Structure 1
Amino acid sequence: MPRIVSVWLPQWPIHRWLAAERRRPSGVPVDPEAPFVLADATDAPRITALNPAALKSGLAVGERLADARARIGALQVRISDCAADADALARLARWATRYTPSVALFGEASGADGFFLDVTGAAHLLGGERELLSDLAQRLRSFGLPSCLAIAETPGTAWAVSHFARTPERIIERGAERETLSPLPVAALRLSPETALTLRRLGFKRIGDLIGKARAPFAARFEKELLIRLDRALGLAAEPLRLLAPPPAYICTRSLLEPISTEDAILTAAGRLMENLVPKLEADDAGARALRLDLYRVDGAVQSLGVRLTLPTQSPEHVTRLLRLKLERLARELEAGFGFETLSLAVTVAERIQPRQRTLATASEDAERERRFTNLLDALRQRLGAESVRNLAPVASHWPERSQASSLAPEKATPWPDAESPRPPLLLPRPEPADVVAPIPNGPPMRLRWRGKVHTIMHAEGPERIAAEWWRSETCPPTRDYYLVENGTGHRFWLFREGIPGRGRVTPRWFVHGLFA
């Protein structure tokens, strides 16, 4: 059965603003013990959040700021920033993936003041559910964020207990949802304010007043939100969570006794994490095609390194080598701070590893050649970046400019069809005009002038006639005669004559189209 942790951060905007204020210099520091409020930036500002001191003074969310200042002269006011609050909460929820990869923010109905953790099958890694809640609460306090935590089988029950329960016991045993929810107010069902107010006016003040009652009158009087929320809290209906990221196929997390910050220490720990994942991959005949290494800093920040591979792998050495290249390229962007205390390696994309022929020498050589090619390709992508490595693939066209296509995300190497005539490894972006001297109109070139330099042709092969693809356009370009020529210093060029001498009205012209090594 699932186990869901509800992490509620009371007065989240206030605590987030105070934490940000401590990290930057301020001309007028805020006294957290005195009344302090956040207000919106409208022409008639209203209070959006307030600290306990302001709450004790009788202020409330939604009150006009002018009225609040008239009642409390020494009121501390700052402008609220909802976008910064949402971004900071998302970063905090991202940090919480150190406990489980399944993290979801509270919905809009309950406000952006906390998140859910699906710790099903993960609590034992910290010694149990009580130890997990204790560790989570202690770390949040170290960030200056008081929290209310609860764990239950349903998100609805966990949310209700974390927000409204007054007992220190916040671990709800399996099957105890009904008796736990009964004494809580109806607002604990995450209802809209209008629905909760109407229920209280009708005499339904506690959730227990709704349990066991006939459903037809509620369905006729209220929106279906009421019954859906009640069924989800009791576990009678499923409540899917909108996770920050889909759970990885395989994941391994390790908490360190002492924080680490050096490259060698990070790579050593990452290699051990991959070694722990290998048995699981082998059991499923799978390999990693994409991995993500998450580094959790002591101060709560999270930094991630993503690695994509050309072929699925189970090799810790290969993964560690790619991570080393990635770290070398991102050395300036990676900030260790006071060190990383937790590392997590996730296989975000896994593929089945196909069996290979190992008996025949030819098959073994082909496999070794493919392995070396893919290792080189992976290394280049990590060192240079995925955008700098392109994959060329053949296209069904005999016109040279259209015979290949490139992509920014190279996958497996595409076999090229055998050509009757050799093609240059370097094809110019567009053919460049050249001056050519030939003994007869249809003879091979003897002298080439290109880019301001004259070349004497010592050897020529051709011509290879390539006709235009007339079905692709209404205007058919002239036919080309290609020659492979070599000068006295060994440089080889691939050039063509556009147009056939003595045919048509087009004057033949020469172009250089490619170069050989």
Structure 2
Amino acid sequence: MPRIVSLWLPQWPVHRRLSAEQRELRATERKHPPRAPVDPTRPFVIAEASETAPRIVAVNPAAADAGLVAGMRLADARARLGSLQVREADPTADTAALERLAHWATRYTPSVALFEAESGTDGLFLDITGAAHLLGGEKNLLADLAKRLAAAALPARLAVAETPGAAWALAHFARTNRPILQAGTEADALAPLPVEALRLDPATAAALRRLGLKRVGTLIGQNRAPFAARFEKEFLLRLDRALGRAPEPLAFLSPPSAYTQGRTLLEPIDSEEAIVAVATRLMGDLVPRLEADGRGARALRLTLYRVDGVAHEVPLGLALPTRSPEHVARLLRLRLERHARSLEAGFGFETLRLSVTVAEAMAPRQRTFARSDETERARRCTRLHDALRQRLGPQSVRHLAPAESHVPERSQISCIAPDETSAWPALETVQPRPPLLLAHPEPASVVALVPDGPPLRIRWRGTLSTVAGAEGPERIAAEWWREGADAPTRDYYLVEDATGRRLWLYREGIPGRETAAACWFVHGLFP
């Protein structure tokens, strides 16, 4: 059975704006800032950005005591309070700050979602299914969450229920704070609450009140046909979701991971070695579960929670799945060295969580006795690839991928090393290709038998050499759909001169058919 925490922040836009202005004031370090800061002890409101009849979005406690409420016209509020402090609403900044708070809340559970538009966009849903016991139960989890929010001067109301709708209703309208609703008691708990507890739009709520239906209990058990005929289907859907009759999917910040492990420390840590040591133990705790499922970690995310509430995420990507804590520790150490300046420890990290974001099937490997050289070489290359990606960044490691073209310079492309590499196409006959392909074919002077004989002498880069042996030709037709119908054909030769140098060159154009005098180009080098 799911267990959902509703975290409602009644004054979120106000709190976010006051915090932002305090940071700006500290950053400027001026005695006389360009604009006087907001005095939180006096009436203060957030108003929507509108040129015609703007309305109040949120009010602080002083403004609420003066009779101002959200939805009131700003002109009426100014008429009532001449010294009213007003700031323009910034929904984008509010949402960004709420996302940062949601990342911080993942210290309790990896499954955290923001309130959507119908819920007010001023709170969070936390799916604590299977996570509450880590803090001694749901009551202790709510107490710890409320304590930390209070320390940040962030007023909040909390509730736990089996459905997001019921938890939201209790957090907003229950007489007591932090109620914990047991499974199967949703109808009894919601019955005395107003119909607004169902997250209805104002027009629907007003219509229900005109009909005398003011409490949720007056809607439960009623004949549904009249409601379906008069109201939008969202009305009955909200009721069913609150009572657990219909599912309510939540858009979590990140997909829940089947493999995650966290640890809260007795004392905060701030050194790189301590972080790596804790992360290594967390990976060791995940290994038995990965082995039982026959899977390995292909991508991981280490989340570091600072004492002051800031959360840092450290992603790790691997070329192949692994279950080695030592390998993960080595990559994490390289990543932390690369981000040493941007990773501010502050007063230290008190909680760490390691999650496997991508898990793939991992075949059993023989660790001892006979191990082929090819297997050992592939393992070393994989470890080198992983180390370079963590130390230099994933954008710095590139690889060659096959492309659908027979023209040598287009048959492969250089791209950022992906999580999964595409296989090279299997060919019935494999033609020789140089390991070093020049960026651009370089012209050469060639003496050859006409009309289509192999090269006998080559002058390239100012050096004249005699050909000792040649293989070819390999004819490659032009891609007429790209280069046009008149694009010349290429005849490639692999030649070796008297000094042992091996070149890959081609004759452009078929003599007598496409050109009168063929041109030669060196395109690559063989070892």
Which TM-score applies when normalising by structure 1? 0.91
Q: What code does the residue aligned with 1:408 have?
A: I
Q: Which runs of 5 or more residues in structure 1 are unaligned?
A: none
Shift of 1:122: 0.3
Residue identity opposite 2:440 in structure 1: R
Would the alpha carbon gap of residues 507 and 123 (structure 1) be closer, same or farther in structure 2, given more than 3 Å must change? same
Structure 1: distance between partners of 2:278 and 2:230: 59
> How far off is 1:318 after superposition?
1.2
Per the alignment, residue 133 of structure 1 pairs with 142
- The answer to whether structure 1 residue 280 and structure 2 residue 306 are counterparts is no
Tell me the amino acid that sits aligned with residue 432 of structure 1: E
> What does residue 40 of structure 1 align with?
48
Q: Quote the residue 1:200 is aligned against.
A: 209
Most deviating of 145-154 and 324-333: 324-333
Letter in 2 for 1:66: A
Following TM superposition, by how much is the alpha carbon of 1:313 offset from its aligned partner in structure 2, in angstroms?
Answer: 0.8
More displaced, 154-163 or 315-324? 315-324
Q: Given the alignment, which residue of 124, 130, 141 partners 1:115?
A: 124
Give the equivalent residue in structure 1 for 2:200.
Answer: 191
Correspondence 1:210-249 to 2 at 5 A: 210-249=219-258
SS of 1:482's equivalent in the other structure is: strand
* Alignment partner of 1:95 is 2:104: yes
Corresponding residue for residue 175 of structure 2? 166
Is residue 157–residue 177 contact of structure 2 (8 Å, CA) maintained in 1?
A: no
Which of 48, 67, 73 pairs up with 1:58? 67
**Residues 147 and 288 (structure 1), Cα distance of their counterparts in 2 relative to 1, 3 Å cut:** same
Q: Which amino acid in structure 1 is aligned with residue 486 of structure 2?
A: T
1:466 to 462, 474, 477: 474
Native 8 Å contact 1:392 1:405 kept in 2? yes
Deviations for 1:10-43, whole angstroms, at most 9, x for unmatched residues?
1110111112222221542222121111123322
Give the C-alpha shift of residue 239 in structure 1: 1.6
In structure 1, what is the equivalent of residue 351 of structure 2?
Answer: 342
Offset at 1:486?
5.6
C-alpha offsets along residues 426-454 of structure 1, whole Å, 9 cap, x if unaligned? 212331223x253766464545332xxx2
Q: Deviations over 1:68-105 (max 9, x none)?
A: 22221221122221111111111111211111111111
1:241-263 Cα distance to aligned partner (Å, 9 max, x none) = 12222112311111122222222
Distance 1:461 1:404, change over 3 A: farther
CA distance in 2, matches of 1:271, 1:333: 22
Q: Percent identity among equivalent residues? A: 60
Distance 2:521 2:142 in 1: 74
- Corresponding residue of 2:28: none
RMSD: 2.7
Give the 3 Å change call, closer, same or farther, for CA 493–333 of structure 1 in structure 2: farther
After superposition, the Cα gap between the structure-2 partners of 1:504 and 1:55, relative to the gap in structure 1 and judged at 3 Å, is closer
Among residues 421, 431, 448, which one is paired with 2:459 in the alignment?
A: 448
Cα gap change, 1:192 to 1:201, in 2 (>3 Å): same
Aligned to 2:20: 20
Q: 1:477 to 1:40 in 2, by over 3 A?
A: same
Tell me, yes or no, if structure 1 residue 332 matches structure 2 residue 341. Answer: yes
Counterpart AA for 2:75: A
For 2:272 and 2:262, locate their aligned partners in 1 and report how far apart those are by CA, in whole Å: 18
CA contact (8 A) 2:407 2:476 kept: yes
Residue identity in the other structure for 1:449: W
Corresponding residue for 2:5? Answer: 5
Name the SS for the 2:299 alignment partner. strand
Check whether the contact 1:296–1:340 (CA below 8 A) recurs between aligned residues.
yes
Task: Compute the TM-score of the two structures, normalised by the length of structure 2.
Answer: 0.89
Q: Which amino acid letter does the alignment assign opposite residue 513 of structure 1?
A: H
Unaligned runs of 5+ in 2: 26-32
- Render the CA deviation track for 1:164-210: whole Å, top value 9, x for unaligned: 11124511122221221111111111111111111112111111122
Other-structure match for 2:77: 68
Which residue among 490, 493, 501 is the counterpart of 1:482? Answer: 493
Report the more deviating stretch, 478-487 or 331-340: 478-487
User: Is the 2:454–2:493 Cα contact (8 Å) retained in structure 1?
Assistant: no
**Secondary structure, aligned partner of 1:464:** strand
**Cα distance in 1, alignment partners of residues 234 and 369 from structure 2:** 66
Q: In the comparison of the two structures, how many residue pairs are matched? A: 511
Amino acid at match of 1:475: D
Give the direction of change, closer, same or farther, for the CA distance of 1:141–1:459 in structure 2 (3 Å limit).
farther
**5 Å matches for 1:316-395?**
316-356=325-365, 361=370, 364-394=372-402
Query: Which amino acid is the alignment partner of residue 388 of structure 2?
Result: L
